[in-house]
Amino acid sequence: MAAAEGGKIDPMHQFLIEPVLGRHWIVGGYDLSFTNSALWMVVTLASLWLFMLGGMKRELVPGRWQAAVEGFTGFVSSMLTSNVGPEGKRFVPYVFSLFMFILFANILGLLPFGIVPGVHPFTVTSHLTVTGVLAIISFSIVLIVGFGRHGFHFFSLFVPHGTPPLMIPLIFVVELMSFLVRPFSLGLRLFVAMTAGHILLKVLAAFVVNGLNLGGGYIAIVTLPSFLLMIGITLLELLVAAIQAYVFALLTSVYLNDAVNLH
Amino acid sequence: MPQISQIAATYASQIFWLLITFGLLYFVVGKGMVTKIVSTVDAREQRITGDLAAAEAARAQADRVEEAWRIEMDAARNAAMAETASAKAQAVQSAEQQVKAADADLAERIGHHELAIANAKAEALATLETVAAEAARDLVAKLSGVGVTIDQAAHAVREVRAHG
């Protein structure tokens, strides 16, 4: 993960995508290689599936694991119920998948797998292609539900109640712009938060390592403070990992509310 | 920044594998497992609501039974008190009657005895006059030798007694 080139640690190297085992699979002109990113998507899916499997005992009185899983499903379903209303229950499978995928990917990216030789942790959600696709899926669902339910009446979403007739064209354009920006803000927010956190951690880690290499007083004035700061930032990043997953799911349910109930 | 510089080379693989993993996640976990877990939670909540309703009904039933029992107990207590009061009144009444009857009986008997005493006294007095008349006659005969009849003697005795 850290490409040490003459003592220099590149904080961007952790985001590099490369095919696992160095093989490229070109299908129909497209490179569909099984990359480290794809590997971590599969790891995310597998660990999430394992986690959910513990909640499938379906006992009347839940054990710890079942209670944890039911806590997550209850969290998502109550979020949808409070934002969308009773109809929000329909979207529980999608928003739950979204929330848990982002949460697990964020946290798996933060776990110290790097201490195992040969294992390179990778944060799937620090890639714009991934967060962008998730944002586009959410936005498409909003569009499909909105137009499927209200038809062209869905455009009334862009004209809030009580707009003076003179202002309608202007307001319509402004609201349409803000609506169209949603998928970008949704995708960019997660990508930027994850990328920034991991760069910061890597820069601090480089300080720790370089200070140790220099030895002597540098350990006291560079390594130790950086290491203490790293501990704090790591805890903060764990919080950010959960908050960004929550924000993504919450905004999706808010947008779904627009699509289901208009204003 | 590899996310931007690699985007042309990796977008196809990223999107392809994301759609596969997220699709699997959605259909296997989201549609399959989550639906079952939510239904388990719903069933449990329904069961809890049902149990609570049953408990509430049982409580209401217990309240009703207790209320009925209380009313019954009140009625029984009132009846018992009324019975006690009437028995007490009856006892008082009968005691009074008995005392009254005993009083009357006593008064009657006292009357009888008083009459008998009066009779005896009168008889004794009458006997006393006769004895006094006879004694007076005998004294007169002995002292003066005049023979008076018993009636005269009696008359004289009566006169002496009347004047003291």
Phi, psi values for residue A5, rounded to 5°: -110, 95
The pLDDT of residue A1 is 39
Cβ of B37 and A41 within 8 Å?
no
Angle between helices A92-110 and A64-84 (to 10 degrees): 120
**CB spacing of B29 vs A126 below 8 angstroms:** no
Yes or no, beta carbons of A74 and B25 under 8 Å apart: no
Residue B107 has pLDDT above 90, yes or no: yes
Count the domains in chain B: 1
Dig out the tokens for A141 from the structure. 């669902």
So what's the ipTM on this one?
0.88
d(CA B17, nearest CA chain A) in Å: 6
Question: Residue A122 is encoded by which pair of tokens?
Answer: 């990778």
B7, B10, B31, B48: which to substitute to probe chain A, counting the most A Cβ within 10 Å?
B10
Query: At what angle are helices A224-261 and A92-110 packed, to 10 degrees?
Result: 170
Lowest pLDDT segment from A24-38, B16-30, B51-65 = A24-38
State which residues of chain A have pLDDT below 50. 1-6
DSSP type of residue A121: -
Q: Is the predicted pLDDT of residue B29 greater than 70, yes or no?
A: yes
* Encoded amino acid at B148, one letter: V
Q: How confident is residue B75, by pLDDT bands cut at 50, 70 and 90?
A: very high
pLDDT band at B26 (very low <50, low <70, confident <90, very high): very high
Whether A85 contacts A256, CB under 8 Å: no
pLDDT band at B112 (very low <50, low <70, confident <90, very high): very high
Interface of B with A (CB under 8 A): 1-4, 6-7, 9-19, 21-22, 24-26, 28-31, 33-38, 40-41, 44, 47
What are residue B18's phi and psi, to 5 degrees?
A: -65, -45
Nearest to A105 by CA among A205, A37, A185: A37
SS3 of chain B: helix, strand, coil, percent, to 5: 95, 0, 5
- Residue A31 is predicted with a pLDDT of 84
Contact A120, A1 (CB under 8 A): yes
Give the model's confidence band at B85: pLDDT under 50 very low, under 70 low, under 90 confident, else very high. Answer: very high
Stated pTM of the model = 0.75
Average model confidence (pLDDT) across chain A? 89
The CB density around residue A214, as the number of other CB atoms within 10 Å, is 13
Question: Which is more confident, B121 or A25?
Answer: B121
What value does the CA radius of gyration of chain B take, rounded to a whole number of Å?
Answer: 63
Tell me which residue range forms the domain holding B47. 2-163
Residues on chain A touching B16 (C-beta within 8 angstroms) = 30, 32
Amino acid at B77: R
pLDDT for residue A179 = 92
Q: Which amino acid is at A234?
A: T
Q: Tell whether the model's pLDDT for residue B158 goes beyond 50.
A: yes
Residue B164: predicted pLDDT = 64
Mutation target among B20, B21, B28 for the A interface, most CBs of A within 10 A: B21
Contact call for B14 and A58, based on CB within 8 A: no
**What backbone torsions phi and psi does residue A27 show, to the nearest 5 degrees?**
-120, 115
Counting one residue from chain A and one from chain B, the pairs whose CB atoms sit within 8 A come to 131
Distances (CA, A) of A70 to A54, A100, B24: 10, 13, 20
Predicted pLDDT at A6 = 45
Please give the Cα distance from B21 to A10 (Å, whole number): 30
Q: At residue B145, does pLDDT exceed 60?
A: yes
Query: Of A248-252, B82-86, B129-133, which range is least confident?
Result: B129-133
Put simply, the answer to whether B7 touches A92 (Cβ < 8 Å) is no
